[in-house]
Structure 1
Amino acid sequence: MVKKTGRPGYLQIADELREQIRRGTLAPGDLLPSTNRLSEQFDASLSVVKMAVGILRNEGLVIGQQGKGVYVREIGTTAGDSPAATADEVAEIRASIKELTERLERVESQLSPPQSGKPRRSPRG
């Protein structure tokens, strides 16, 4: 049931459903209750329930299948979803940035005249 806490109802519903997914009460592949059922369960309007489910969709926790319903998404079914794959990608990006930074520093040092520590005079003298 949505409580009168000042927090919007759709966020409360999204929090509750998210928690059920994290606890495993709603497991990957499970069908979410219908919008009508969730509306009754949380004593909220259909539009509020739809907004809550939309948040979970945007977070990648659920996926809708036209005409079938909304299911808890299978996490880690592809390499791109795996936390280890993500960590590896971040490590690769960091290594590439480090390499590019070093290359840029070498190019800049070759193009720039050596600094003697003295202030440069303007050409007008």
Structure 2
Amino acid sequence: MIEPNGIPAYQQLAELIRRQVRTGVLAPGAALPSMSQLMKQYGVSNSVINSAMHILKSEGVVRGQQGKAVYVVGMSPDGAVGRTATPAYVQDLEHRMEQLGRRVEELERWRTGMADVLA
């Protein structure tokens, strides 16, 4: 249950779910309880659950979409909760880094051009 202990309820809920993933109570691929079930189980509002899910999704602990089931992603081999570095994930990161590098180059060219115009 969520306690009134000075820690925001959404952070407490996120930590409870992290702990359940770490300890195997929630296995990789398992669906989390529905929004209404979580509200009843933990005595919190839907905004608390949405905030906790946002954190857990950003950490890679769970995945899913609003109005759909939310699933546990799992744990990495070192025991950390969150995304594992699958080849597809690494390839996606490399692609994104290349795109960012090209964008930085474009911005540098633009900045140089603007400096010439203003000089």
TM range (shorter): 0.5 to 0.7
User: Greater CA radius of gyration, 1 or 2?
Assistant: 1
Question: Which 5+ residue runs of structure 1 have no aligned equivalent?
Answer: 83-125
RMSD: 2.3
Number of matched pairs: 83
CA shift in 2, pair 1:12/1:66, >3 Å? closer
Q: Which runs of 4+ in 1 moved over 4 A?
A: none
Deviations 1:9-43 (A, max 9, x none): 00000000000011111011000001111111110
Residue 19 (structure 1) aligns with: 19
2:7 counterpart residue number: 7
Q: Aligned pair 1:57/2:65, yes or no?
A: no
Q: Percent identity?
A: 45
Give the 5 Å matches for 1:86-101: none
Q: Cα distance, 1:79 vs. partner?
A: 2.7
Give the TM-score, by structure 2 length. Answer: 0.62
Q: TM-score, normalised by structure 1?
A: 0.59
- Equivalent position of 2:47 in the other structure: 47
Cα deviation 1:38-69 (Å, max 9, x = unaligned)? 11111000110111111100000100046541
